[in-house]
Amino acid sequence: MLTLRDICKTYGSITAVDALSLEVRAGEIFGLLGPNGAGKSTTIAIATGLVAPTSGVVDLLSLGSPSQASVRRHLGLAPQEITLYGELTARENLLFFASLYGVANAAARVDSLLQLVELDARAKSRVSTFSGGMKRRLNLAAALVHDPQLLLLDEPTAGVDPQSRNRILELVRTLAAQGKTIVYTTHYMEEAARICHRVAIVDHGRLLDVGTPNELIARHGGSSVVVVIRGDAELRVVTVDPAGEVARQLSSGGVTGIRVEQPDLEAVFLKLTGRSLRE
């Protein structure tokens, strides 16, 4: 669906993207994870043809580079910085984006999108009066006006409450179930683990690893902790063989409770990208 081959992007002495290669497959929700400044938004901007790479090749649907408008039509972008007009209503914003793409039956399309993101009741309100979650949902709807096959969502849940976040995650799943391919960046590992079929972890513009969440956890997650409870006492055993440890503990008798704390995507992220703060 989308191929990035050996992409580099430098800004003076800053290397934002460093020899990055990715292959996003049709129908998948692909997560792009990395700390602040890792190069996620630059990668998205290159993948959408908005920024030219210093070197490397982008291909969408074997049609060539999305820097060509005819290729770019097949993708939709919901940028990290919300791009909506505060003085226009929700409906007017979507009609404006639809007119840019020459969408046929724009009014009907816009109304169905307002329903999809649950903003139909606020269709005639100015966007400047919207909450953060409402703006994020409308930003997502704007990426869908021309019904693209590939949807790129750059931190679609940044600054929203758990209710809106849940709605957005469900919406992404629904869109994927309808056959859209989705590239998704986030800082929330539990989100990525929940919805992404595969994730790439990037830092300093470089790809550190790519795979399903479970594959990455198996490769980089490290040990599990088996918590053994005997009456009031809790024993924590760090082990790479949780099943074996549980069996050993249970056979030793007197166990009143046992649970296994398995490594998660957060553990993988910290292992691969380290713990130092980014500027």
**Binding footprint of ligand ATP on the chain (CB under 6 A):** 11, 14, 16, 34, 36-42, 80
d(CA 175, CA 182): 8
Q: In the complex, what is the shortest distance from the CB of residue 83 to ligand ATP, in angstroms, rounded to a whole number?
A: 15
List 20, 31, 39, 41, residue binding Mg ion (CB under 5 A): 41
Q: With respect to ligand ATP, which residue has the nearer C-beta, 38 or 47?
A: 38
Q: Which residue has the tokens 């919406």?
A: 171
Choose among ligand ATP, Mg ion, none what residue 180 binds, the Cβ cut-off being 5 to 8 Å by kind.
none
113-142 residues near Mg ion, rule: CB under 5 A: none
Q: With respect to ligand ATP, which residue has the nearer C-beta, 42 or 139?
A: 42
Name the DSSP class of 274.
Answer: -
Q: Is 249 in the site for Mg ion (CB under 5 A)?
A: no
Site size toward Mg ion (CB under 5 A) is: 3
Q: With respect to Mg ion, which residue has the nearer C-beta, 205 or 263?
A: 205
Choose among Mg ion, ligand ATP, none what residue 263 binds, the Cβ cut-off being 5 to 8 Å by kind.
none
With CB under 5 A as the contact rule, which of the stretches 73-81, 228-236, 247-255, 261-269 interacts with Mg ion? 73-81
d(CA 152, CA 49): 12
CA–chain centroid gap for 21, Å, is: 17
Amino acid letter, 208? L
Choose among ligand ATP, Mg ion, none what residue 14 binds, the Cβ cut-off being 5 to 8 Å by kind.
ligand ATP
With contact defined as beta carbons under 8 Å apart, do 22 and 179 qualify? no
Q: With respect to ligand ATP, which residue has the nearer C-beta, 169 or 200?
A: 200
Q: In the complex, what is the shortest distance from the CB of residue 14 to ligand ATP, in angstroms, rounded to a whole number?
A: 5
Q: In the complex, what is the shortest distance from the CB of residue 145 to ligand ATP, in angstroms, rounded to a whole number?
A: 24
Q: Which helix (H) or strand (E) holds 47?
A: helix 40-47
Joined together, the tokens standing for residue 211 give: 């795979």
With contact defined as beta carbons under 8 Å apart, do 163 and 133 qualify? yes
Amino acid letter, 89? T
Choose among Mg ion, ligand ATP, none what residue 67 binds, the Cβ cut-off being 5 to 8 Å by kind.
none
d(CA 28, CA 140): 18
Choose among Mg ion, ligand ATP, none what residue 224 binds, the Cβ cut-off being 5 to 8 Å by kind.
none
With contact defined as beta carbons under 8 Å apart, do 63 and 71 qualify? yes
CA–chain centroid gap for 244, Å, is: 35
Q: With respect to ligand ATP, which residue has the nearer C-beta, 191 or 245?
A: 191
Q: In the complex, what is the shortest distance from the CB of residue 63 to Mg ion, in angstroms, rounded to a whole number?
A: 26
Other CB atoms within 10 Å distance of the CB of residue 165: 19
The residue number with the shortest CB distance to Mg ion is 41
E strands, 139-240, in order: 150-154, 181-186, 198-203, 206-211, 224-230, 233-239
**Residues in touch with Mg ion (CB under 5 A):** 40-41, 80
